[in-house]
Structure 1
C-alpha cells in the first residue's frame, strides 16, 4: 500500500478546519472530551482533528456542526487559497475565562468584580438626547475640551 503525502493545500485545509473546530469549541465552553463523545470518537482522535493532523470526514463535519451550532461550511470560512487567516475569538474567550474564574471567587470577590465591570462599561441607557452620545462619551469629550482650553491658555 502506497501512502501519499497530502498536498500542501489539503494539509492547510485540515489545519484551518482544526483551528475552527477548536475556536468554536472554546466559544461554546466545551471540553475536548465532550466534543469527542458528542461525535463518537476518542479524545485522542478529536485532538488530532483540532491539530490538523487528521482530516475530518464529511459525516463527522456535519456532526461537529450540529454539536457546535454551525453549518459545515462555517469550518471553511476565512480560508483563501489554502492559507489560514486566524479569526481570533478573543472577546468570547475572555468572557469564558471570566465566567470560569468567577465561579471560583468567594462572594465578596465576585461582587467586587461585578462592580468593577459595571464601572468600566459605559451605560447604554444614559444617552445624550441631542447627539446620541453616552454619558461616558460626553464626559470624555468635556474633559478633552478642558485640557484643550488649558493648553490654549498656557500658549
Structure 2
C-alpha cells in the first residue's frame, strides 16, 4: 500500500459496510493457471472495517477483479477487492509513528462537536476521513476546500511512498 485507506461515504443506504479507497502498487497477479510478477500503481476499492487500520508500506493480499483505471489518473488499473486484506507485512517504523500521530489527533478531536470533529485533522494533516459532508460542502462553496489538501502536505504526518 502506498497511501492511507480513505473512507468513502455510503451513497446507498442498502450497503451497510464501510467502503474504502487506497492507492497501492500491484506486485503479483495470480490466477488459477498463471502467476505474474508486476510492479504497477493501482487504486483499490474495498469494503469492510478491516481496511481502516492499514497503513502505507504494508503488503497485503486480496482477491479481486481488475478493471480499467479511472480516466485521467496515473494508475495502471483499478482493483475491486472481493475479500478482506490478508496482511503480509507490518508498516515501516516511520509509517507506524505517523499513523500513531494521526490517530492521536483524531482522538484529541473527539471532544469537539460532530460537525467540527473532522475539521481539525483535515486542516492539520489532510485526514478528511471524518469530515462532516456539510462542512466539506461549506468549504467548497466558500472557495476554501484547498485548505485540507494544502495543510495535509505536512511530510511528517503524510504517507510516504518511498523506495
Q: Relative contact order (C-alpha < 8 Å, sep 6+): which is higher?
A: 1
Same fold (TM > 0.5): no
Q: Which has the higher strand share?
A: 2
TM-score between the two structures when normalised by the length of structure 1: 0.25
